[in-house]
Amino acid sequence: MSIDFTFGGRLKVPLIVSPMFLVSNPPLALACCSRGVMGSFPAHSTRNRDVFANWLEDMERGLAEMEAPAPFAVNLVVHPTNERYPGDLELCIQHRVPVILTSKGAPDDVFKRIHDYGGVAFHDIASARHAEKAAEAGADALIAVCAGAGGHTGTINPFALLNEVRQVTDKPIILAGGMSTGQDILAAQAMGASACYFGTRFIATRECLSDDATRDMMVAATAKDIFFSAALDGAPANWLRPSLIQEGLDPDEIAAYTPGQRVQNQAARARYSKIKSAGQGVGMIESVESAADLCDRIIDEYNRSKRAFANNLLRTTA
Ligand SMILES: Cc1cc2nc3c(=O)[nH]c(=O)nc-3n(C[C@H](O)[C@H](O)[C@H](O)COP(=O)(O)O)c2cc1C
């Protein structure tokens, strides 16, 4: 299946505001969809299936009030260890969620079941091997999570990862990690990506679930405040250093851990509610603003960058 990344002209820019645990919610996703950007949230941010059903209904009601909104997406952890996965998938099928963002594993029939109701599935990958497996299983596009991304991150440079993925599959690629501006989207397209995934850039928006202290911490932070470690929850992730220190953890001590060693104390157990994750693009968050305004600005930057780039090419090519 080939994917039209304008989704019938409803995306004004090839951008997905990516799912962020305990950050993304229907108000954030709706604000993005209203401006022509794909919004999303993780199913596992909801306490239980009833709340997840409510969120899907909120999306349907909100989108019905808009003229030609962008489609939305839901993130499902499609791993056998996620007990909620089969029921959450059923609910997505019932609600015919247009785009499913699958992560962590790929059971054989998940992509077929999504295709059967007319949905499309984009799968998270962080290596060429992951890409190969997801492509074989039937994912429609691959989300290449590169070094510097917020949340559970990849570790490979974007140029290196895209080039390696291209050696194993020609599936469309959605680039993720460290991007913040319309110009970044154009750059990703020049590298051969079909679309981009921005998470961190939207953590401090008014609509999302972040609290004011987190928003302020994000505004103050720069790339130097991002701490990479697998010792917090077992998977390589990028964390906001000031939030670790605030919870009594010493990043320098954790950095000296041996591979496989995990933070064991009380503060670590509260990790996702108190310790904050963000990617290296955090330095581009300069204020708390509405997601709708942010989307408008990114679309404007993208269009201006395209014109400037085209003019520049005309001047510099024979
Ligand atoms: C606070 C936070 C929570 C995240 N939670 C999830 C999640 O639940 N599911 C998921 O697929 N990705 C999650 N991610 C990763 C993002 O979807 C995306 O890959 C990443 O934000 C892209 O990199 P960027 O933050 O540099 O833009 C999370 C990222 C952040 C910053």
Pair 145, 204 in one domain: yes
pLDDT at 233 over 90: no
Residue 317 inside a domain? The answer is no
Determine the distance separating the centroid of ligand 1 and the alpha carbon of 96, expressed in angstroms.
23
Categorize the per-residue pLDDT at 107 as very low, low, confident or very high, splitting at 50, 70 and 90: low
Domain count, the chain: 2
Structure tokens at 2: 């080939």
How far, CA to CA in Å, does 108 sit from each of 14, 66, 304? 28, 36, 43
pLDDT at 89 over 80: yes
Pair 48, 153 in one domain: yes
261-272 pLDDT per residue, tens? 888 765 556 555
**Cβ 119 vs Cβ 96: under 8 Å:** yes
Determine the distance separating the centroid of ligand 1 and the alpha carbon of 97, expressed in angstroms.
20
β-strand pairing of 141-145 with 120-125: parallel
Structure tokens at 126: 């962080």
Pair 114, 154 in one domain: yes
Residue 261 is predicted with a pLDDT of 87
Determine the distance separating the centroid of ligand 1 and the alpha carbon of 45, expressed in angstroms.
12
Q: Mean pLDDT across the chain, nearest whole number?
A: 94
Distance CA 15, CA 48 (A): 29
Pair 200, 226 in one domain: no
pLDDT at 255 over 60: yes
Pair 173, 257 in one domain: no
Pair 198, 233 in one domain: no
Residue 6 inside a domain? The answer is no
Determine the distance separating the centroid of ligand 1 and the alpha carbon of 164, expressed in angstroms.
22
Residue 2 inside a domain? The answer is no
Residue 316 is predicted with a pLDDT of 85
Pair 152, 71 in one domain: yes
Residue 269 is predicted with a pLDDT of 61
Residue 263 is predicted with a pLDDT of 85
Could you give the percent of the chain with pLDDT greater than 70? 96
Mean pLDDT confidence for 198-212: 97
275-298 pLDDT per residue, tens? 999 999 999 999 999 999 999 999
Pair 173, 146 in one domain: yes
Residue 216 inside a domain? The answer is no
Distance CA 166, CA 118 (A): 27
Which of 17, 21, 100, 280 to probe ligand 1 with, by most ligand atoms within 8 A of CB? 21
Closest residue (by CA) to atom 8 of ligand 1?
Answer: 21
Categorize the per-residue pLDDT at 161 as very low, low, confident or very high, splitting at 50, 70 and 90: very high
Pair 167, 243 in one domain: no
pLDDT at 105 over 90: no
15-64 pLDDT per residue, tens? 999 999 999 999 999 999 999 999 999 999 999 999 999 999 999 999 99
Residue 7 inside a domain? The answer is no
**Cβ 10 vs Cβ 179: under 8 Å:** no
Distance CA 1, CA 239 (A): 37
Domain that holds residue 267: 222-274
Place of tokens 């991150």: 153
Whichever domain contains 135, its CATH number is 3.20.20.70
Task: Give the DSSP per-residue string, 261-313.
Answer: ----SHHHHTHHHHS-B--GGGGG--S---HHHHHHHHHHHHHHHHHHHHHHH
Closest residue (by CA) to atom 30 of ligand 1?
Answer: 151
Q: Which long-range contacts (CB under 8 A, 24 or more apart) does 123-126 make?
A: 125/165, 126/153, 126/154, 126/155, 126/156, 126/161
Pair 262, 305 in one domain: no
Pair 162, 244 in one domain: no
Residue 50 inside a domain? The answer is yes
Residue 315 inside a domain? The answer is no
Determine the distance separating the centroid of ligand 1 and the alpha carbon of 90, expressed in angstroms.
24
Pair 167, 231 in one domain: no
Residue 24 inside a domain? The answer is yes
Residue 265 is predicted with a pLDDT of 62
**Ligand 1 site residues, Cβ closer than 6 angstroms:** 18-21, 23, 42, 75, 103, 124, 145, 148-151, 176-179, 197-201, 277-279, 281
